Amino acid sequence: MSDMEQQRRLQILANPAETRTIECKSWLDLSDNKIKAKLAKAAIAMANSGGGTIALGISEDETNGKKLVCKPRPSNVARYNSDDVGSAINKYAEPELEPKLVFENHPDSGDEHAFVEIAGGMHQPVFAKRQLNGEIEKLACYIRKPSPPRSEVPHTAQEWRDLLQRCVLGSRDSLLGSIRTIIDGRLLDTSSSVSDEQNLIEFMAASEDRWRGRLGALEDDHVAHFRHGYWTAAFSILGAPPSSSHIELRRNIDEAKEGSRTDYGPFWEQYRHGPEAIPTNDGFEAWLANPVAKEYYDPRECCFWRATLDGQFYYLDAFYEDAGFLSMAPGHLYDISVSLKRYGQMFMFAGRIARMFGENAEVLMCSQLTGVMDRLLSSERLWWLKRRGFISKVATISFVPIRVTPQEIDDNLVEILLEFLHPVYVLFNLYDLERKLVAVEIDNLKSGIW
């Protein structure tokens, strides 16, 4: 079990919320066929939508505005086992799924909760093979839909295209893996390999180490040390061939940057003495705080980024809020409006460049905030926000990776950001990010209003 996976489950328990990849259900009596059908429907939808988690023991509190709350397992519900969960789901799923049952204790109450993890990467759509009136329909192919998150059959041509594209990518990745194994002269190994998510996390760690290695050339008090904190974002382009050359990658980066609506877009350069991005063995690397260039007074002009030929991208920068021109000293604020547009830019850039890698490409995005202990959530537009006291009590926030297609970024960016960022803002003293605010800020971003 990876620390990232466990952290994600504990976040669900601490702040229950349903998303496209998370469905919460009350404690289920798996001896009841109607209950089995409900669980199977959720699992089928998750499998057809790239995978996800079904959290058990979480239900709406009717006395508190239907807020989702965690409840202890009742005495009449036995502790689940993998055989019972798999049997309940596969009574209805075709082809059969391989759900993984995991248990975690609530971080406050200590009550044990069950999680059913459903893998994505299906090679074909999953259907319901039998019917139970009112719960599940025979031959229905359920998917997860946003706003509000729910399990339904596809209704639009685009929803069917997205589903079929995920299956094509799953089949192609499996075939390519087998071909590589044969070419390398190794026996086929059916054991699980390092996941795309773990590869991305390791790339982030290696990239941060490279940045830290650059800092030795600077004075200890140089602003490029980002002593108040910094944010990083990274994404992998999946399901597409690598760039054929440094020239092609450079051209793709430049074309993708042309869609940015602000001067400080992702992967930017100042061109003080030509482009800051220099070729490396695996792609390009840029550090705008090159000490021979000039004296720096704005940490935002000291970002570091990498881009590799095989489609991995990394960006590290100071917080906009620490530039020294806001009402409080650096290290004390985290601006929600800036954050929404910052991640909106990153997803839009990723979607543009993913299309250049291949028409069937997907984007796997992750991020981390470092140095956010005691930062106050703020916004220049939401004047009342500071007064509410939404303060972070953790120093570092690691995001749960999210996988999306360029078309989904075009069509559902607001929902994607809500799913990606809501668990992060909850750590600021339970701030509940609203869809309306996300929509307003993304509209501003697309209109060039920072």
Kindly report the average pLDDT of the chain as a whole number. Answer: 85
CA 179 remoteness from chain centre:
30
Q: How is residue 164 written in tokens?
A: 């079929």
Q: Cα separation of 101 and 43, whole Å?
A: 12
The label of the residue with tokens 């998303």 reads 19
For residue 62 the two structure tokens come to 């009717």
The number of angstroms, rounded, from the C-alpha of 317 to the middle of its chain's C-alpha atoms is 19
**Reduced DSSP (H G I as helix, E B as strand, rest coil) percent helix, strand, coil of the chain, to 5:** 40, 20, 40
Provide the pairing of β-strand 22-25 with 283-287: unpaired
CB 387 within 8 A of CB 365: no
Distance, in Å, from the CA atom of 24 to the CA atom of 14, rounded to the nearest integer, reads 13
Q: Does 130 have pLDDT greater than 80?
A: yes
Highest mean pLDDT among 268-277, 293-302, 436-445: 436-445
d(CA 223, CA 30): 58
pLDDT at 423 over 90: no
Domain ranges of the chain: 3-171, 196-446
Report DSSP state, residue 311: S
118, containing H or E segment: strand 112-119
Distance CA 39, CA 37 (A): 5
pLDDT of residue 413: 94
Other CB atoms within 10 A of residue 118 CB = 27
DSSP 171-214: HHHHHHHHHHHHHTT-----S----HHHHHHHHHHHHHHHHHHH
**Topology of domain 3-171, per CATH?**
3.30.950
Distance CA 259, CA 349 (A): 7
Instruction: Compute how many other C-beta atoms are within 10 angstroms of the C-beta atom of residue 218.
Output: 16
pLDDT digit string, tens, across residues 351-372 = 999 999 998 899 999 999 999 9
pLDDT tens digits, one per residue of 234-253:
999 999 999 999 999 999 99
Q: State residue 20's pLDDT score.
A: 82
**Residues whose CB is less than 8 angstroms from the CB of residue 425 and which lie 6 or more positions away in sequence, other chains included:** 336, 377, 390, 431, 432, 433
- How far CA 94 is from CA of 41, 198, 306, in Å, comes to 11, 29, 42
Residue recorded with tokens 């980024």: 305
Q: What are phi and psi of 273, to 5 degrees?
A: -130, 45
Q: First CA to last CA across the chain, in angstroms? A: 41
Instruction: pLDDT band for 301, please (50, 70, 90 cuts).
Output: confident
CA–centroid distance for 220 within its chain: 34
The enclosing H or E element of 443 equals helix 435-446
Q: pLDDT tens digits for 181-200?
A: 444 454 434 443 458 888 99
E strand or H helix at 387: none
DSSP state for residue 390 in the 8-state scheme? -
